[in-house]
Structure 1
């Protein structure tokens, strides 16, 4: 079966997403450990990715922990600095596919407001043929419903979709539905997969 659409996750596929690294740079590793051990900031972020308001969730969480209020608010106030930098080779691969009229979709755990903010910083986030953003869909990967919603909307058979994501649980959920999948561990491996699938030539995948 030939691939009819290629689907990119965004965090750690097109844009680096390493909040701990950013916190280490601004508050130091020791304090970051104290903050992250005190509050599950990734669980807080899941609420945003499910569609709750970005500022409201972060500031509400911060107010519940006054001793580290300012540290938690960094998640909102410096979010673009956490969601950086772009991964240029991945962006080139996305655009190379589209140059060959191969549709490229996004399937991403992203808040409504954070995705809109990221689009102001990264122009390629405005270039997907279709963008499936969890905050708008009210469900996050790896819940089966998010994959079902994408299938229903695009109308492409699961075995004609190729999906790259950096998390094994997200990959396994897609594979269980019959999608072709690639565990993203760096753009060079993803480039080789696209060549193997005969979607790009080696020259196009550089």
Structure 2
């Protein structure tokens, strides 16, 4: 029996495709050159593990002065990178809570960047429990982060249902005995929730 539903945030509730922002901002060719030169996702992983949001990004910008302005945009235009919201996914979150199904977040997210996101996306405050990697000091798919969730919530692994867009994160959850859904669209996630009898077809509609 499922006793709690766990949402990833990036690419489950909010689109997280920084490349799309940079394609618009500086053009695809220049974006490709920058991403080949600078490990921007590695930089972001540092933030997600708890490193300071602005300082980490701005230090990386100083390390690559030829890309300084563009790298600083990762911070200065961050909310444009983390957009748009998947409205159907937010509706599913709220439909579960309306039925008194506990809903948690488990997300690779920095401390400062999450605070910023929550100031814009108020639904991020609606979870019953929030597991944010920046505060935990570990990121998915490290098995430790899943163990920390289990220890905190006190629920058996096989009573948890987790949605994430990355196969490695899903595999790590399943290895601990969690039920897991590889998120590719809100519609697919809706059907998963229906199949577990957590929502009806009507409740799961967009």
Residue in 2 aligned with 1:25?
A: 24
Say if 2:186 is the partner of 1:199.
no
Unaligned runs of 5+ in 2: none
Residue in 2 aligned with 1:89?
A: 88
Say if 2:129 is the partner of 1:130.
yes
In the alignment, the residues of structure 2 paired with residue 111 and residue 47 of structure 1 have an alpha-carbon distance, to the nearest angstrom, of 8
In the alignment, the residues of structure 1 paired with residue 96 and residue 145 of structure 2 have an alpha-carbon distance, to the nearest angstrom, of 24
Residue in 1 aligned with 2:63?
A: 64
Local SS of the residue matching 1:198: coil
What TM-score, normalized by structure 2, do the two folds share?
0.99
In the alignment, the residues of structure 1 paired with residue 12 and residue 65 of structure 2 have an alpha-carbon distance, to the nearest angstrom, of 34
- RMSD value over aligned CA atoms? 0.4
Offset of 1:150 from its aligned partner? 0.3
In the alignment, the residues of structure 2 paired with residue 130 and residue 87 of structure 1 have an alpha-carbon distance, to the nearest angstrom, of 20
In the alignment, the residues of structure 2 paired with residue 30 and residue 113 of structure 1 have an alpha-carbon distance, to the nearest angstrom, of 30
Offset of 1:15 from its aligned partner? 0.2
Local SS of the residue matching 1:106: strand
Offset of 1:34 from its aligned partner? 1.0
In the alignment, the residues of structure 1 paired with residue 54 and residue 122 of structure 2 have an alpha-carbon distance, to the nearest angstrom, of 23
Say if 2:40 is the partner of 1:35.
no
Local SS of the residue matching 1:107: strand
Residue in 2 aligned with 1:151?
A: 150
Moved over 4 A (4+): none
Unaligned runs of 5+ in 1: none
Local SS of the residue matching 2:177: coil
Residue in 2 aligned with 1:168?
A: 167
Residue in 1 aligned with 2:51?
A: 52
Offset of 1:72 from its aligned partner? 0.5
- Alpha-carbon displacement from aligned partner over 1:110-152 (angstroms, at most 9, x marks no partner): 0000000000111110000000000000000000010000000
Local SS of the residue matching 2:69: helix
